[in-house]
Chain A
Amino acid sequence: NAGVTQTPKFQVLKTGQSMTLQCAQDMNHEYMSWYRQDPGMGLRLIHYSVGAGITDQGEVPNGYNVSRSTTEDFPLRLLSAAPSQTSVYFCASSYYRTGGGYGYTFGSGTRLTVV
């Protein structure tokens, strides 16, 4: 089925470890984003991309890197995990069409625990 695929669904890391959260979409959307969801804080934008080769920082970018080498993929890298990065991470892809509004699709999330 078309949509946004995130892997893994669950992950436990030790402090200082690195890992990459994968995100792929098959809808040919230009825009992709990463959010983290924490209790009482809603969703906060980490990084986003408006197209292949272009990325930018959101509200809470520290400790995370992204790249966008293809339209389909937008991996999120934790370089040195910290307990403060324990959260649920959502990837999203979206499009905008003049006169056609917005479309925005979320992945099912990755629950990350850093111990």
Chain B
Amino acid sequence: GDSVTQMEGPVTLSEEAFLTINCTYTATGYPSLFWYVQYPGEGLQLLLKATKADDKGSNKGFEATYRKETTSFHLEKGSVQVSDSAVYFCARVNTGNQFYFGTGTSLTVIP
């Protein structure tokens, strides 16, 4: 069935390092794709989204490109900060407006 698979964590990086968190999906058609971020003790917040192939979502220095050839939506940031420490979730939505989330990737950025 339809699903989202993202790389397992935890991921630990030094400040200013390059970040990639992989996400792939399986679905019929071309679902909208999302990255959500969850800071400690808080709910999920939308980070960025892309609604069709080749779209690039971007926010707060993070980017992800919707690649239908590889069914991927990898999250990247060129220079992470300590404040980026959080759990990141890749998600897709089906035609019934139901969201399916990956298992989450915990990121810790150390000074």
Q: Do A and B come from the same complex? A: yes
Taking beta carbons and an 8 Å cutoff, which residues of A are in contact with B?
31, 33, 35, 40-43, 45, 48, 50, 58, 90, 92, 94, 96, 101-102, 104, 106-109
Secondary structure type dominating chain A contacts? strand
B44, B46, B102, B103: the one contacting A90 at CB < 8 Å is: B44
5 tightest Cβ-Cβ pairs between the two chains A and B: A42-B103, A106-B43, A43-B101, A106-B44, A108-B43
Complex contact B44–A50 (CB within 8 A): no
Complex contact B101–A108 (CB within 8 A): no
Interface residues on B, range: 20 to 34
Secondary structure type dominating chain B contacts? strand
Nearest to B105 among chain A residues (CB) is: A42
B109 at the interface (CB under 8 A from A): no
Taking beta carbons and an 8 Å cutoff, which residues of B are in contact with A?
32, 34, 36, 42-46, 49, 51, 89, 93, 96-104
B42, B89, B96, B97: the one contacting A42 at CB < 8 Å is: B89
